[in-house]
Amino acid sequence: MTALQADTVSERQGDDDIAAAPAVSPNERVLRIAVPFGMLAALLVVWQGYVTVFNVPHYILPSPIRVAQAMATDWPILLAALLVTLKTTFSALAIALVGGVGLAIVMAQSRWVELALYPYAVTLQVTPIIAIAPLIIIYAPSTQAAVLICAWIVAFFPILSNTTQGLRSTDHNLLNLFDLYGAGPWRTLLLLKLPSALPYFLAGLRIAGGLSLIAAVVAEFAAGSSGAGSGLAFRLLESQYRLNIPRLFAALVLLSVTGILIFFATSLLSHLLLRKWHESAVRREN
């Protein structure tokens, strides 16, 4: 057998080993879905049983059935409020993506820009948004603009910080190789630094997605906006003031489900972009 034939046989054996690597069994996949839903079902049964046995008034603790009824009855109102909150959430996230990634690239290319701007980005992050929201409301041209600015401030820093860290974490040996072949700074950025920073950016995106929703709700609380164009925060306050606790729980459930969906959407995007090449998404062969 020649050396070429031996290499070919070895490559085929390697491919067969990869193909034969143990995958996630169907039973394990079912358990990953069944166990969380089973826990949720058990919690709902205990909740319903407690409310029924001890005859708890619905304005103190509504039963899951009452919450579901409120969700169905008030769905048009809750949906309209949710769409307002989602508009703010995704607008703030989009602005944070553009601003965070753009500023991270500029800081990665210029040490002086990083020294000048990064401390102020940290200052915005560590200052509680609920403390500066009243000032933003005063100086913003409208209440909606103030809510958007508050949500943007919270979502901006995770993207900036993670992307900057990713750009700094590029393999030094590869940087030296690009320098050896005479690649300029922008060519190195496009072909090496940005792909290396992608996993860090996606991690920041997952964080910022949830934080933008939280910040939008907090900003709506601080702004106290009401009326037809109000978000879910106003519906929560309205339900509390009117002792319509079933609707309050329904709005909370809607917010929680929305946050979970945003997290799963960003996680799915991360998996699709990294599954073929990055160690965090590639399945181990042994």
Q: What is the CATH number of the domain that holds 135?
A: 1.10.3720.10
Q: Which long-range contacts (CB under 8 A, 24 or more apart) does 120-123 make?
A: 121/156, 121/157, 121/160, 121/161, 122/157
Domain membership flag for residue 285: no
Q: Residue 242 CB: number of other CB atoms within 10 A?
A: 11
d(CA 218, CA 221): 5
Query: Which residues have a Cβ under 8 Å from the Cβ of 179 and sit 6 or more positions away?
Result: 188
Could you report the average pLDDT of every consecutive run of 10 residues in the chain (286 residues)?
A: 44 44 64 86 93 90 93 92 92 94 90 88 85 86 88 92 91 90 88 91 93 89 67 88 91 93 93 79 64
Same domain, 38 and 158: no
Same domain, 226 and 141: yes
Domain membership flag for residue 229: yes
d(CA 184, CA 32): 48
What local confidence, expressed as pLDDT, does residue 114 receive?
86
Q: Could you give the number of structural domains in the chain?
A: 2
Instruction: State the residue range of the domain holding 138.
Output: 62-274
Same domain, 50 and 142: no
Overall pTM > 0.95 = no
Same domain, 12 and 77: no
Domain membership flag for residue 282: no
User: Which domain-ending residue is among 55, 76, 100?
Assistant: 55
User: Which domain-ending residue is among 38, 55, 72?
Assistant: 55
Query: Which residues have a Cβ under 8 Å from the Cβ of 272 and sit 6 or more positions away?
Result: none
Same domain, 132 and 242: yes
